[in-house]
Structure formats: structure tokens, C-alpha cells
Chains A and B, each alone.
Chain A
Amino acid sequence: MKVRSYGVVMALIAIAAALAAPLVADPFWMTLITQIYIYGLLALSVDLLLGHAGLYSLCQASFFAVAAYTTAILQVRYGYPTIVAAPAGLIAGTLLAVLYGSAVRTRGVYFILITIALGYIIWGAVYRWASFTGGDNGITNVPPPSVAGFSIASQTAYYYFVLTVVILCAFGYRILIRSPFGLSLRGIKGSESRMQSLGYRTTMHLYAAFVISGLIASLAGVLYVYYNRFINPVAASFQISVEVSLMAIVGGSGTIVGPFIGAGVFLGLRNWVSSFFELHTAVMGAVFIATVLWAPSGIVGLVERWRPGIGKPKDQP
């Protein structure tokens, strides 16, 4: 019980702080924090596979970008309202996940390489299919989202909108990972052979997880395009896919807050370093290296060591 109430208290504090943020933060910070929520959500989609199912997908940017591009193109080029464009984006991104899900037939390093290559298909498509996607320039002038005459135009309004979506997602995600299905994913991560002998068609479970992950990534993509008001091929790039998996790990894989903490640390650090140091990409590269070598269980993992109520695992035989 003690452990559980600790988590609830922390979550309430975090939500209260998030709700109060617009009262104290200036536009720069508001932009950054909104960005952290959106990337955190994308990192969460990575972590459903990474932290729970044990699959390392490196094509999450594809679902993110396809959702964002679909919404942007429908809204800007064809003039559809948000109520059509946003769900269409979600559906398009998720359908891509339904298609790409066949990658779960493979495991380990093959899965990693295949998802990298699949990710490049979308990047290549949005980059080269310029007549439809705008090529390098992308799609600009995406209007703010508006539903039934209400436009979520102001930065603060959109902040609260994103926050609401993220909290709802986190809540739903929590139910998902605590469900028998969620447990089955952790079972597969632990031992796929045993899961099969217990009666699970593991590939189908992984496939379902892959599609759900694609749905979450697509949601992040739709939120992103309305936040950014434009979209270009960078959103579909391999770099984004790697960065968000790093966020999930930096924060703490297998947790809900971890990916958001990771997004905060990563984006905050990049913003800060790039303000005074020319080689900021190199610094981010160093963060990758340092995380892998010294903090593979992430910030949440580091905190857990000192957290009350949870002992260190005893020595193994």
C-alpha cells in the first residue's frame, strides 16, 4: 500500500504542477513544455514495445509523421475541418502500423534493422513525393484546431488541450499495462518460449501491441502538427525515432512517467546546450553514449534505488 500511495501522490503533484504551469511560465517555456508532452507521448508509444513487450521499434516516427501529414494535407490542401482531418490522421497512422506490424514476425536485431528500413520508406515518401507532401518544405500554414466553431488558438488553450489528452492517454495506458494483455507483453519480454507453451500465440500479442503503439504515436503526430502549425520530412526521420527511444530509456523504460521525464531532460538539455555551444549535436550524441553505458535503467531507475519501501534485489544464486 505504501508504494502505491507514493505513486498516487507523485502523480497528483505532477498534474497540479502541470495545471499551474501557464500561470508562471513565459511563452518560451510554454512552447518547450508542450513539446515535451508531445514527444513524451511519442516516447510512451516506443516504450509500450520497448519496456513491456521487449521489441525495439525504430520506425515510430513513421506513424507520427503519417498522422501529422495526413491531418495537415487534409486541412490545408483540401480544406477539411479539424473534426475530419484529425481523426483521419489518427486512422492513417494506425493503418500504417497495421501494415508495418508484419515486422513482428522477426525478433531481435532483425526487427531493429527492418523497422529502421521501414521508417526510411516513409521518410523517402514525404521527402521525394514533393507534389503531394511539399518535399523538403513540407506543409505550412496549418490552422489551429477548431471544433464546432470553437478554435483552440491561444498557446495556453492548446497547452491545456494537449495536457488533457496526455493525462487521458496516461490513464488509459496504465489500465492497458495492468490488464491481462499488458501482463502478457511483459511475459513475452521475459520468455517468449514459455509464453508459447502456456498457450499464447505470441506473435499476435506483439502485433496488437505494435498497432496500439502506432495509434499512440499517431495521436502524438496529430497533436504535433497543430502545435507546430507546419510539418516537414524531419518529423519522419530516423533521428526522431532514435531520439524518442532514447527519451524512453533516459526517463526509465517500463514506467509511465519515464518517457515524459526523458523527453523533458532530452529537449531541455538540447535547448540549453544549443543556446551557447556550437557542437550541440555532439553533446546529444554523448548523452546517448552516457545513457547506454551508465544509466541503462534511466532516471526513474536511479530514483527507485533510493525510494522508500522497495528493497534492492537480493543477490542471485
Chain B
Amino acid sequence: MTAAVAIDSLAKVFGGLRAVDRVSLEVALGERRALIGPNGAGKTTLFHCITGRMQPSSGSVKLFGDDITYLPEHQRTKLGMGRTFQITNVFTDLSLAENLALAIVGTDRRKWVWNRPLSAFPAVREQALAGLEAVGLKDRADDPVKLLSYGERRQLELALALNTHPKVLFLDEPCAGLSPSERQRIFKMIRALPREITLVMIEHDMDVALGLADRVTVMNRGRVMAEGTPDEVQSNPEVRDVYFGHV
């Protein structure tokens, strides 16, 4: 069976620094993979290279068997790749419903409609409300994002990615900067996602990462140092030394 995501000896070099050093990994269809590692391990850079924000220096990225290494970001989204950002990246000047509408029409031709107002698309509105309900923000649909708290923005961040209807979802520290109770909320939302969606997530919070993931990849200094089930990884002495020792 083809893997959902297959990365082959991917490297990213900045100046003389190898931020990502020949990383290879495969994520199976429907799998939930956590990517962990200390700060500066190259996790976010790897993410950027997979999602098309950055171009890898060498190596290849395959999505459902198709080589997408040099595909622009927007086309990856059409192929079913969705992502969230570590630093909240939502449209602060728009309302929540408008934020979702952008995600909803982004992958089809309606994004080019210029001669009819958005309000002429009741289906978009409905989907937007449903999408907001899924992250518990339905009653704030017409508020500008400016009025949201940081935690609520993280929820919206997730909703945006979900509404491009991804088959593979990349989450870059979905719980970054949240309080424990807010973490719990996001944790539940991610857990409640349909199993057909393949998940790859960077996570610092061990409990979140190990509670959600089927498999865990540990990165250190740009390389993969271990991979396995949460139990295997936790009991790996090398990982304990490098990673858990730091916490």
C-alpha cells in the first residue's frame, strides 16, 4: 500500500547550517504520527519543506505516491494536504465566518467568483457555521477575529485547516502557548477527527503527543534519531537521554 506521505532523504541547508539532514520517513494512510524533539531539532523546517512553504535543498516528498517536491503550496492543498501554523496565522481583520469561507472556497472554482456577493452562497455560510461549531466557535461567527482570545484563535487556526478538507493534516504545535484547560480542549478536538484523516503533528507536550499518536518520530539536530510506537520511544534510552532529560 502507498504511504500517505513519504519523505526520502530530505535535507534543508541554510548557509552552512544543516537544519534538516537527510530525513526519511513514511506515514501510512490513516496513521497519526507525532514529531517530537528538542528546540532547534528541525521539526518546523521539515514541516515547511513538506508543505511547500520552503523548498528542500535535496531529497523528495511524495503524497499518496505522487512526487510533490517542487509543487507550489496551493496545489498541494488541492491534492489534500492541510496545515496549521505554529504562530497563529488567521485573518484578524475578517470575521470568523469569513475566515472559514476563505478556506471553504479556496480549493474550488468559487474563489474566482467576482460578480456575486459571498452572501449569495448559502451553502458556504452553512459549511462555515458547521466548521465553527466543530471547534466550539459557532456563536461567534460574525465577530471579527480581533475580539478572540488567543486560545480561541488557536481553535480557529485548526478550523481553517480542517475546512480545506484535507486527507493529510499537518499540525505545527497546535497547543503552543495554551493553558492546560485550553490544551485539553484542542486535544479533544484533534482526537475527535475522523480516522480517515492522516495526521502529522509537531508537539512539545508529551502527554498530548503520546496520547494522540500511533507512532512517534523523534528528531534531534536535523536527523531522525528514533521512531516507533509511543511505548517504544519512551523506553528508548537514547531518546530519554536527549529529549526527556531536557524536560
Check whether chain A touches chain B (CB < 8 angstroms). Answer: yes
Q: Is the CB of A314 within 8 A of B89?
A: no
Tell me, yes or no, whether B107 is within 8 Å of chain A by CB: yes
Tell me, yes or no, whether B116 is within 8 Å of chain A by CB: yes
- Closest CB-CB distance, B74 to chain A, in whole Å? 5
Task: Fill in one digit per residue for A171-202: 1 if any B CB lies within 8 Å of its CB, else 0.
Answer: 00001101111111011011101111111111
Q: Is the CB of B90 within 8 A of A175?
A: no
Tell me, yes or no, whether B112 is within 8 Å of chain A by CB: yes
Q: Is the CB of A313 within 8 A of B101?
A: no
Within 8 A of A (CB), among B74-95: 74, 77-78, 82-83, 85, 89-94
State in angstroms the CA–CA spacing of A277 and B107 once bound together.
57
- In-complex Cβ contact of B93 among A181, A184, A190 (8 A): A190
- In-complex Cβ contact of A198 among B102, B124, B150 (8 A): B102
Q: Is the CB of B110 within 8 A of A197?
A: no
- Closest CB-CB distance, B158 to chain A, in whole Å? 13
Q: Is the CB of B106 within 8 A of A191?
A: no
| B contact residues around A181 at 8 Å (CB) | 111-114
Q: Contact residue range for chain B?
A: 35 or more
- In-complex Cβ contact of B118 among A183, A194, A208, A314 (8 A): A183
Task: Fill in one digit per residue for B89-130: 1 if any A CB lies within 8 Å of its CB, else 0.
Answer: 111111000100111011100111111111101001000000
Within 8 A of A (CB), among B33-74: 51-53, 72-74
State in angstroms the CA–CA spacing of A227 and B94 once bound together.
39
| B contact residues around A180 at 8 Å (CB) | 101, 105, 110-114, 118, 121, 124
Q: Is the CB of B106 within 8 A of A179?
A: no
| A contact residues around B132 at 8 Å (CB) | none
Counting chain B CB atoms within 10 Å of each CB, the highest count among A186, A190, A205, A316 belongs to: A190
Counting chain B CB atoms within 10 Å of each CB, the highest count among A178, A184, A197 belongs to: A197
Q: Is the CB of A187 within 8 A of B112?
A: no
Q: Is the CB of A179 within 8 A of B113?
A: yes
The count of chain A contact residues (Cβ–Cβ below 8 Å) is 30
- Closest CB-CB distance, A109 to chain B, in whole Å? 22
| B contact residues around A198 at 8 Å (CB) | 74, 77, 102-103, 106-107, 160, 164
Q: Is the CB of B160 within 8 A of A178?
A: no
State in angstroms the CA–CA spacing of A186 and B78 once bound together.
21
Q: Known interface pairs A183-B102, A193-B89, A194-B91. Does A201 touch B113 (Cβ–Cβ under 8 Å)?
A: no
Tell me, yes or no, whether B181 is within 8 Å of chain A by CB: no
Tell me, yes or no, whether B144 is within 8 Å of chain A by CB: yes
| A contact residues around B111 at 8 Å (CB) | 180-181, 184, 199-200, 205
- In-complex Cβ contact of A313 among B116, B144, B160 (8 A): B144
Q: Known interface pairs A194-B160, A198-B102, A200-B74. Does A317 touch B149 (Cβ–Cβ under 8 Å)?
A: yes
User: Which residue of B is nearest A185, CB measured?
Assistant: B114
| B contact residues around A200 at 8 Å (CB) | 74, 106, 111
Q: Is the CB of A201 within 8 A of B102?
A: no
User: Which residue of B is nearest A197, CB measured?
Assistant: B83
User: Which residue of A is nearest B103, CB measured?
Assistant: A198
Q: Is the CB of B98 within 8 A of A183?
A: yes
- Closest CB-CB distance, A310 to chain B, in whole Å? 10
| A contact residues around B114 at 8 Å (CB) | 175-176, 179-182, 208
| A contact residues around B195 at 8 Å (CB) | none
State in angstroms the CA–CA spacing of A186 and B94 once bound together.
8
Tell me, yes or no, whether B146 is within 8 Å of chain A by CB: yes
Q: Is the CB of A191 within 8 A of B110?
A: no
Tell me, yes or no, whether B13 is within 8 Å of chain A by CB: no
Q: Known interface pairs A180-B112, A317-B150. Does A199 touch B117 (Cβ–Cβ under 8 Å)?
A: no
| Chain A to chain B: the 5 pairs with minimum beta-carbon distance, closest first | A199-B77, A199-B106, A198-B106, A190-B91, A178-B117
Q: List 26 A-B pairs, Cβ < 8 Å.
A: A175-B117, A178-B117, A179-B113, A180-B112, A180-B113, A180-B114, A180-B118, A187-B91, A190-B94, A193-B53, A195-B102, A196-B53, A196-B73, A196-B77, A197-B83, A198-B77, A198-B102, A198-B103, A198-B160, A199-B107, A200-B111, A201-B74, A202-B74, A205-B111, A313-B147, A314-B147
Seen from chain B, the residues whose Cβ lies within 8 Å of a Cβ on chain A are 51-53, 72-74, 77-78, 82-83, 85, 89-94, 98, 101-103, 105-107, 110-119, 121, 124, 144, 146-147, 149-150, 160-161, 164
Give me 16 other A-B pairs in contact (C-beta within 8 A), A180-B114, A198-B102 excluded.
Answer: A175-B116, A176-B114, A178-B119, A179-B116, A184-B105, A186-B94, A187-B102, A189-B93, A191-B89, A191-B90, A193-B89, A197-B73, A198-B77, A198-B164, A208-B114, A314-B146
